[in-house]
Every structure is written in C-alpha cells, then in structure tokens.
Amino acid sequence: VPAPGQVFVSVSSITATSISNSWSVSSGRVASWEVVWRPTDRGTESTSGPLSGTTYTIHYLDPSTIYTLTVSATNVAGTTDSTPILFSTASDVYQAESH
C-alpha cells in the first residue's frame, strides 16, 4: 500500500470565528484525516484528532486573526500533509502559500 498522494484543501466559508473546509487526496487510500491550525502570531497549535470524513468546520477562532491550516492524510504506509493555507478570520479571502 503506497502512502496517500497529494492532499488538496478547499475552503467553503470563513466567518469572524470559524472556517469550513473540505479536502481530497490525489491517489491512494486514506485511513484517517487530521486538521491542524494555529494563529501565525503565536505557537499554540490545535488539532481535530483523527477524522473519517472529508469536511470539517473549525469553530471558536479568534476574530481578526491570521491562521495557518494543514490537512494530513494517513494510512499504514505513512502520512502526507497538504500545502499550508493561510487564512484570516477578518475577511472572506484566503491564500494558499507553500512553506
């Protein structure tokens, strides 16, 4: 079993305190997904824990804050992370940025 392929993330909505997103993988089987986010101005990281679905809404975000978001796909062969996404709870605009 090969490790999951590239993870693609799309954002469906952003409010002052939440973000809804979904994701897919280019190839391979996925046993579980994990969503990780943190404000860019401090190192506190939050995680969804293992998920079986391909959508997730993060609630209780701080208004007017810039966050990074990464989705990981895992199976018995390994884990593949998405390209980190930068988003701001102050607007409905997001930008994908590679690190």
Q: Residue 92 has what pLDDT? A: 47
Is the pLDDT assigned to residue 80 strictly greater than 80? yes
Q: What pTM does this model have?
A: 0.86
Q: Residue 9 has what pLDDT? A: 97
Is the pLDDT assigned to residue 44 strictly greater than 90? no
Among the listed residues 70, 13, 7, 79, the one whose alpha carbon sits nearest the alpha carbon of residue 38: 70
pLDDT in tens, 28-43: 999 999 999 999 998 8
Q: Give the rounded percent of residues in the chain with a pLDDT score beyond 70.
A: 90
Is the pLDDT assigned to residue 86 strictly greater than 60? yes
Q: Residue 98 has what pLDDT? A: 45
CA distance 77 to 59: 31
Q: Give the rounded percent of residues in the chain with a pLDDT score beyond 90.
A: 82
Q: Residue 91 has what pLDDT? A: 52
Sign of CA dihedral 91, 95, 96, 98: negative
